[in-house]
Amino acid sequence: MSTTHQRYYVPHDSGWPIFGAVALLLVGYGAASWVTQAGKPEGGNGVYIFWAGIALLVVMLFGWFGTVIRESTSGLYSDQLDRSFRQCMAWFIFSEVMFFLAFFGALFYARVIAVPWLGGAGNNAMTGELLWPQFDAVWPVLKTPGGTETQPMPWSGIPLINTLILLASSVTLQVAHTAIELGNRARLKVFLGLTIVLGAVFLGFQVYEYVHAYRDLGLRLDSGIYGNTFFLLTGFHGLHVTIGAILLLVIWLRIVIKDHFTADKHFGFQAAAWYWHFVDVVWLNLFIFVYVL
Amino acid sequence: MSTEQTGALHPGEHLDHEHKPRGITRWLYSTNHKDIGTLYLLFSLAMLFIGGSLAMVIRAELFQPGLQFVDPHFFNQMTTVHGLVMVFGAVMPAFVGLANWMVPLMIGAPDMALPRVNNWSFWILPCAFAILLSTLFMEGGAPAAGWTFYAPLSTTYSSDSTAFFVLAVHLMGVSSIMGAINIIVTIFNMRAPGMTWMKLPLFVWTWLITAFLLIAVMPVLAGVVTMVLTDKYFGTSFFDAAGGGDPVMFQHIFWFFGHPEVYIMILPAFGIISAIIPTFARKPLFGYESMVVATASIAILSFLVWGHHMFTVGMPVAAELFFMYATMLIAVPTGVKVFNWVATMWRGSMTFEVPMMFALAFIVLFTIGGLSGLMLAITPADFQYQDTYFVVAHFHYVLVTGAVFGIIAGVYYWLPKWTGVMYSERLAQTHFWCSLVSVNILFFPMHFVGLAGMPRRIPDYALQFADLNALMSIGGLLFGLSQLLFVWGVVRCMRGVGDKASDRVWEGAQGLEWEIPSPAPYHTFETPPVVK
Ligand code: HEM
Ligand SMILES: [Cu+2]
């Protein structure tokens, strides 16, 4: 515990949280309505409610973080509060890990248990025989028991390039990190910028890969358990890359335009960097378990 | 245990610091852990009555065999929404409210680690429940697949309420995860100097571990509801064998969340009971360290026992045996706790104010629930009990006479500290005895009809169960009415009616929260106290 007894900053009332709660209400209600209305001839307003909610959420993020930055630069924050931020971020990333674990769990269960059983493994010979005798229980499931067909996504090519890109982005980010600690602003700007560019290239390749999958391979979200796990895992990962890249971009803009952060106070930078490394690690697992194996 | 510490407040500190914001914005914009705690508790109370009303519909329909009031589909909506509201709306928020109020006071912190995020966590909850409850008024009705929403009931055979349910659960998850992160970081980072780990009150310990469980499993729940959503609306087949998936996979992922979830709902109650028993036995808690270790081992084991909800689904025998033994292993640390509470009372100078009465009832009745849990854990026996009223009896003993009684005990225990006035002991004792008797009329016969084969979640039943069901329905009505006494008692205190409470409130109370004035000032411990 700090013995210096610097006061822990307890902020005054703030309207942003409830503003954000209403935004989430609109996002949630809008998304649910949208999903149920999509494809129905009469359509509906869900899509508008959803995007209105997202817009409010963005406004809230700007307002809230703006307040935090003002408070921080005016010296209200103690070391203890800084530790709170760090620990919160670490636990938040842990919760994200558990979210991905649910989908990896589904992948492993399908590969190790569900699909072999459908093919008659274990004591399920009759299941295979009576339900879908022609089903070939191999991974990837290119023909589902119900008969949907697809083709596999090879790991060489774009996925491999993307792996190298993300690994490289981790290195550039690390260089940027060292640069901020050494006070080398020029190098910081270049290498942080480079990281963002690499992230954007990654996303570009992924979009290209998705188009390729849909158009040429017939690999779709609804092509059975292989397509399901493929698109949900890579899709949620891509979403996280997008969020991470936006975080880094905001940090970069703050550095370039406002000259924020110093050699020893740069939690915002660090949080975004942690997040980026986490996204990176998830990708490595994805590459191994979704593509290669 | 923190019993010996005197939270020496430096004299003349800012305890008179009372500039409360006024009007409605005090609540809407609050960054004060006490106000936010109050909001959580009031929200939870409202949900308790909404969930209770749904239960009344269930019990009314089950009062007699045959179909009287509602059609089966609506009946399913009632059981489903009742479960969801009670679990996510009543029990969990009540504990978060208690944590908000008490954790900073117990560890000598000025507030929660991130007060604005704390406010956000709260206000997301009413939004989530607005979405969930709105489905009751939708075409096709509310979710009807049970609070466990097994696929394919929640996918192929569900109404469009599924989408709203899924998004509502996402919001609840966001709220819970942020709330849990706040609590965990508060405990790690905001303890007053000298408040070492092994001096933490047990309520703080149990919440620390609960918060860890929340952060670990709420995202898994988010994952599984997402798969339900994509299965229903986006053509995936995670839970559909025709696409290479498996409906059993739903159960695995759901219960990987679900079993730790039931401990999320009981561990904080263990903490409350561990605070109350020593106070009214006027002895320090017996076996403090073993309590901490037991709580931690329960939490770890709770990740390894989910299969006991799936004994009849067709797992390999090795898995059935593993889950059976792992489940029984949990009974050991649970037993340690019960033993320690009893040993704390041994030769204590006990008095029986209402918090103590609820705590005693908790020990006896929760143990009944634990024992029926052990019966359910026996794989071959569970083939008989699964999906009968015996299971309903089990989880209502652990959840109502366990979790809810724990919450009520805690509310009575700390109410004088919050409001500055004593509740009416006579009114509260009446509340206690009415609750105790009616809750057993309500739930105890469920063991019998369950063992005799009455299935759960069915609006009709065989004639031989008629008498006991009528009895249970009467018990349910009485239990619901008894809670009005609770509301009355709490409202009295909130309005300041009653005797003035002293700072220590209870003769035997120990810990930092009793060193500050009653009612607790708006801001406390702005400079950390030194714990000796
Ligand atoms: C000694 C401790 C416990 C053991 C051995 C145990 C065992 C079990 C077993 C085997 C089942 C599955 C029964 C079936 O569906 O056939 C079950 C169900 C359940 N238990 Fe426990 N349990 C214990 C404690 C608890 C506690 C502390 C809680 C909550 C606070 C709890 C809440 C539940 C709930 C809600 C269900 C039913 C879930 C559903 O199907 O809707 N249990 N328990
Ligand atoms: Cu369980």
Classify A84 as helix, strand or coil: helix
Which residues of B are the active-site residues?
A: 82, 111, 147, 175-176, 259, 261, 263, 274, 308-309, 334, 337, 456
Determine the residue among B121, B123, B134 to mutate to test chain A binding: the one whose Cβ has the most chain A Cβ atoms within 10 Å: B123
pLDDT, tens digit (0-9, with 9 covering 90-100), for A7-18: 788 888 899 999
> What average pLDDT does range A75-102 have in this prediction?
94
**Which residue from A1, A215, A74 is spatially nearest to B530, judged by alpha carbons?**
A1
Chain A residue numbers touching B182 (CB-CB < 8 A): 88
- Residue A133: is its pLDDT beyond 50? yes
User: What is the set of domains in chain B, with CATH numbers?
Assistant: 32-514 (1.20.210.10)
Give the ligand at the shortest distance from the Cα of B391: 1
Q: Are B411 and B268 in contact (CB under 8 A)?
A: no
Bond from prior residue into B521 cis (ω within 30 degrees of 0):
no
* More confident call, B53 vs B530: B53
Give the ligand at the shortest distance from the Cα of B326: 1
d(CA B201, CA B498): 29
- Residue B18: is its pLDDT beyond 80? no
Least confident of A149-158, B425-434, B448-457: A149-158
**pLDDT for B304:** 96
**To the nearest whole number, what is the mean pLDDT of chain B?**
94
d(CA A234, CA A229): 8
- 8 Å CB contact of A21 and B249: no
> What average pLDDT does range B315-324 have in this prediction?
95
pLDDT, tens digit (0-9, with 9 covering 90-100), for B220-231: 999 999 999 999
Task: State phi, psi for B8 to the nearest 5 degrees.
Answer: -60, 110
Q: Which residue of A has its CA nearest to B233?
A: A35
Classify B8 as helix, strand or coil: strand
pLDDT, tens digit (0-9, with 9 covering 90-100), for B236-275: 999 999 999 999 999 999 999 999 999 999 999 999 999 9
**Which residue from B152, A135, B240 is spatially nearest to A127, judged by alpha carbons?**
A135
**Which residue from B15, B100, B107, B13 is spatially nearest to B531, judged by alpha carbons?**
B107
Instruction: Report whether residue B308 contacts ligand 1, using a CB cutoff of 6 Å.
Output: yes
**pLDDT for B14:** 42
Residue listed under structure tokens 């309903």: B392
Please, which residues 14-33 of chain B have a Cβ atom closer than 8 Å to chain A? 21, 25-26, 28-31
pLDDT, tens digit (0-9, with 9 covering 90-100), for B381-439: 999 999 999 999 999 999 999 999 999 999 999 999 999 999 999 999 999 999 999 99
Q: Least CB-CB distance to B116: which of A11, A91, A95?
A: A11
Q: Which amino acid is at A251?
A: I
> What average pLDDT does range A125-132 have in this prediction?
87
When pLDDT is cut at 50, 70 and 90, the band that residue B6 belongs to is very low
**pLDDT for B179:** 97
Classify B500 as helix, strand or coil: strand
Classify B188 as helix, strand or coil: helix
Domain spanning A78-292, CATH class: mainly alpha
pTM, 2 dp = 0.94
Task: State phi, psi for B388 to the nearest 5 degrees.
Answer: -110, 175
CB atoms near residue A76 (< 10 Å): 13
Per-chain residues with Cβ under 5 A from ion ligand 2: B 259
Chain A residue numbers touching B230 (CB-CB < 8 A): 221, 228, 232
Residue listed under structure tokens 């055979």: B157
Classify A116 as helix, strand or coil: helix
Residues 6+ apart with CB under 8 A from A122: A116, B316
Q: Which residue of A has its CA nearest to B317?
A: A123
Reading the block at residue B267, the tokens are: 């561990």
Q: Least CB-CB distance to B189: which of A20, A80, A102?
A: A80
CB atoms near residue B463 (< 10 Å): 9
Per domain, the residue ranges of chain A are 1-77, 78-292
- 8 Å CB contact of B236 and A35: no
**Which residue from A188, A282, A180, A286 is spatially nearest to A240, judged by alpha carbons?**
A282
When pLDDT is cut at 50, 70 and 90, the band that residue A4 belongs to is very low
**pLDDT for B5:** 36
Instruction: Report whether residue B281 contacts ligand 1, using a CB cutoff of 6 Å.
Output: no
**To the nearest whole number, what is the mean pLDDT of chain A?**
93
d(CA B503, CA B515): 7
**pLDDT for A6:** 67
- Residue B19: is its pLDDT beyond 70? no
**pLDDT for B20:** 74
Chain A residue numbers touching B235 (CB-CB < 8 A): 221-222
CB atoms near residue B277 (< 10 Å): 27
Give the ligand at the shortest distance from the Cα of B402: 1
**pLDDT for B310:** 97
Determine the residue among B246, B257, B303 to mutate to test chain A binding: the one whose Cβ has the most chain A Cβ atoms within 10 Å: B246
Question: What's the CA-to-centroid distance between B265 and ligand 2, angstroms?
Answer: 12
- Of all residues in chain B, the percent with pLDDT exceeding 70 is 96
CATH number 2.60.120.10 is the correct assignment for the domain at A1-77: no
CA dihedral B283, B338, B186, B172 (to 10 degrees): -140
Residues 6+ apart with CB under 8 A from B394: B369, B372, B373, B376
- 8 Å CB contact of B237 and A15: no
pLDDT, tens digit (0-9, with 9 covering 90-100), for B478-530: 999 999 999 999 999 999 999 999 999 999 999 999 999 999 999 999 888 98
Q: What is the DSSP letter of B530?
A: E
Classify B108 as helix, strand or coil: coil
Rounded to the nearest angstrom, the gap between the alpha carbon of residue B351 and the centroid of all alpha carbons in its chain is 26
DSSP, residue by residue, B220-252: HHHHHHHHHHHHHHS---TT-GGGT--HHHHHH
When pLDDT is cut at 50, 70 and 90, the band that residue B454 belongs to is very high
pLDDT, tens digit (0-9, with 9 covering 90-100), for A22-60: 999 999 999 999 999 987 888 789 999 999 999 999 999
